[in-house]
Amino acid sequence: MPKKAKATFEEDLARLAEIVAALEEGPETLDEMLALYEEGVAITKRLQEVLNEAETKIKKLSRDVNGELEVEDYDEAG
Amino acid sequence: MNEDRELPLFEIPRGAEVYTVSELTEEVRATLEGAFDAELAVRGEISNFKHHAARHMYFSLKDEAAVLRCVFFHPANARLRFAPADGLEVVARGRLGVYPPQGSYQLYVSSLALRGEGELMAALERLKKKLAAEGLFDDERKRPLPRFPRRMGVVTSPSGAAFRDIRNVLARRWPGITIILRPAQVQGEGAAGDVARAIADFDEAGAADVLIVGRGGGSLEDLWAFNEEVAVRAIAASRTPTISAVGHEVDWTLADFAADVRAPTPSAAAELAVPVKEDVRADVAQMRRGAVAAAAEYIAGAREGVTAARGSYGFRVVPRRVDERRQHVDETAARASRGVGHALVAFRGRYAEAAGAFRALSPAATLARGYNVASRDGRTVKRAAQAGAGERLTLNFADGRRAVDVIDGEAEDIAQKS
């Protein structure tokens, strides 16, 4: 179990804004600046992965033969 | 009857001319039940309505002059799509029968309908007040919608215009989202129950980040399922943030009051549910540009600081520090180069520039080229004029230091000769 749950898109976006503000304010040291910038690069990459998803997926919620709920691909004809 | 006759003191009942209660009642029943159709319809106003423990319903139908007792048994009464209450004008259909234990006749109701649309609206108002009093429509109960849902649940008919509109709007605004349809009946008997089960299914499976529940336009009767208590309660109880999307702008149902957000149409619901991806993409790009610009500015400022500092300090400390800085900058240039996009490539270019500047300026590099630097008491001696005869100086080589004494104060100026 990871110690920290993966950040949501919303959380990443907010953190990126914080990083930009911190960089614009002027970090204390080169190390701090590099750390902030590197974090910004990682976050931007994650955000862009979501932004670049282009295929809208349609699924269906239904109960299987045992009465259990499951999410499966949606067959338009069915 | 002869009223002059004395009332007898006692009488011994003899034979068939004296009925027992049961016998008379039985004859009444046979006569009565035979005289009417197997199913008849009666209209009147409900009074004395009782519905204990959600089982059988007992009430009377009355008009100005008479009262008819009625009973509507469970489970048949569960199919009712409105809540009967005193005062409502209804049409009841059923069978007339005699109930011997009470010596009464009553209508065994098989179906009950509100008499006219006016009654429908009256019943609706009554239900709305009841649910509002329970707090089902309170603002405090309403959940906020997530800003960036990944999984959009939809409860509607798979063949209706609503699902088509929702899909189109979502695919346009936020392509890449996952839409999860739970098909449901959205009008007629049984629809309210199906909608309620669908919402419960989404909660049980935890399958969606937000729900859109609704249907396209239609008549009051078409939309009625979204006014029925079971559906309205299910929407209010939903743990997933829920958007109601029933009919057109002018259509309001109790479901709209119970939902976390009301949308005037299914398309509007999809617009409320997701932002426009292109807008968010532009925001992210702007932030990235801001980060790069700020970092580059920081580097430029640091570089100027190095230029200013180059002529002063002692040697023991500066060469090592600069080497560390150079290594740091090299590492950063490498990290920056793993990024994406022109901006990061440009950033790397600027870093390399700074790294080059560091390297060129480094006193250690100067020494490494074979030059040595004179110093006295830790400070560089840059001019012959600063070193007089008899002074002890330190010669700093790349690989160490030597103490030297100045012999002659008049050495030639090498620079002038070449």
Give the per-residue pLDDT at B363: 66
Length of chain B: 418
CA distance B325 to B93: 93
CA distance A50 to chain B (A): 8
Instruction: Give the residue from chain B lying closest to A48, CA to CA.
Output: B281
Average pLDDT over residues B369-396: 82
Nearest CB to A44: which of B170, B288, B302?
B288
DSSP annotation of B7 reads P
pLDDT tens, residue by residue, B287-300:
999 988 888 888 77
Give the per-residue pLDDT at B117: 80
pLDDT tens, residue by residue, B235-285:
999 999 999 999 998 889 999 999 999 999 999 999 999 999 999 999 999
Q: Domain locations in chain A?
A: 9-71
Give the per-residue pLDDT at B118: 80
- Joined together, the tokens standing for residue B71 give 């009973």
> Is residue B54 very low, low, confident or very high in pLDDT (cuts 50, 70, 90)?
confident
More confident residue, A4 or B142: B142
Whether the pLDDT of residue B129 is over 80: the answer is: yes
The residue ranges of DSSP E strands in B124-256, in sequence order, are: 151-156, 178-183, 210-215, 242-246
For residue B86, how many other CB atoms are within 10 A of its CB? 11
Q: What one-character-per-residue DSSP string does B312-379 give?
A: SS-TTTHHHHHHHHHHHHHHHHHHHHTS-HHHHHHHHHHHHHHHHHHHHH-HHHHHHTT--EEEETTE
The sign of the torsion formed by the CA atoms of B215, B221, B227, B228 equals negative
Length of chain A: 78
Give the per-residue pLDDT at B343: 47
What proportion of chain B, given as a percentage, has pLDDT over 90?
56
Average pLDDT over residues B366-375: 77
Nearest CB to B176: which of A20, A31, A54?
A54
pLDDT tens, position by position, for chain A (78 residues)? 445 678 899 999 999 999 999 998 888 888 888 899 999 999 999 999 999 999 999 999 999 999 999 999 998 754
Give the per-residue pLDDT at B372: 81
Residues of A in contact with B284 (CB under 8 A): 13, 16, 44, 47-48, 51
Query: Distance of CA A24 to CAs A36, A42, A64, B289, B351, Å?
Result: 11, 18, 55, 11, 18
Mutate to test the interface with A, among B145, B148, B324 (most CBs of A within 10 A): B148
Q: Answer for the pair B363, B316: CB distance below 8 angstroms, yes or no.
A: no
Residues of B in contact with A24 (CB under 8 A): 290, 294
Pick the closest to residue B292 from B348, B355, B356 (CA basis): B348
Give the per-residue pLDDT at B355: 53
Give the per-residue pLDDT at B46: 95
Type of residue found at B70: C
Residues of A in contact with B146 (CB under 8 A): 10
pTM over 0.80: no
Type of residue found at B113: A
Query: Distance of CA A68 to CAs A61, B197, B202, B208, B213, Å?
Result: 10, 14, 12, 16, 22
Give the per-residue pLDDT at B367: 73
A window 8-37, beta carbon within 8 A of B = 8-10, 13, 16-17, 19-20, 23-24, 26-27, 30-31, 33-34, 36-37
CA distance A58 to B178: 6
Give the per-residue pLDDT at B310: 58
Nearest CB to B294: which of A20, A41, A44?
A20
Interchain pair B288, A40: CB under 8 A: yes
Highest mean pLDDT out of A28-32, B204-208, B300-304: B204-208
Q: What rounded mean pLDDT belongs to chain B?
A: 85
Residues 6+ positions from B144 with CB-CB distance below 8 Å: B241, B260
> Is residue B121 very low, low, confident or very high in pLDDT (cuts 50, 70, 90)?
confident
Q: Answer for the pair B240, B153: CB distance below 8 angstroms, yes or no.
A: yes
Mutate to test the interface with B, among A33, A51, A52, A75 (most CBs of B within 10 A): A51
More confident residue, B310 or A65: A65
More confident residue, B156 or B417: B156
Q: Give the DSSP H or E segment for B97.
A: strand B89-99
> Is residue B347 very low, low, confident or very high in pLDDT (cuts 50, 70, 90)?
low
The answer for B336, left when phi > 0, alpha when psi is -120 to 50, beta otherwise, is: alpha
Average pLDDT over residues B172-201: 96
Nearest CB to A57: which of B178, B290, B298?
B178
More confident residue, B192 or B82: B192
Whether the pLDDT of residue B71 is over 90: the answer is: yes
Pairing of strands A69-73, B40-51: unpaired
Nearest CB to A56: which of B148, B179, B298?
B179
Give the per-residue pLDDT at B158: 95
Give the per-residue pLDDT at B335: 58
The answer for B299, left when phi > 0, alpha when psi is -120 to 50, beta otherwise, is: alpha
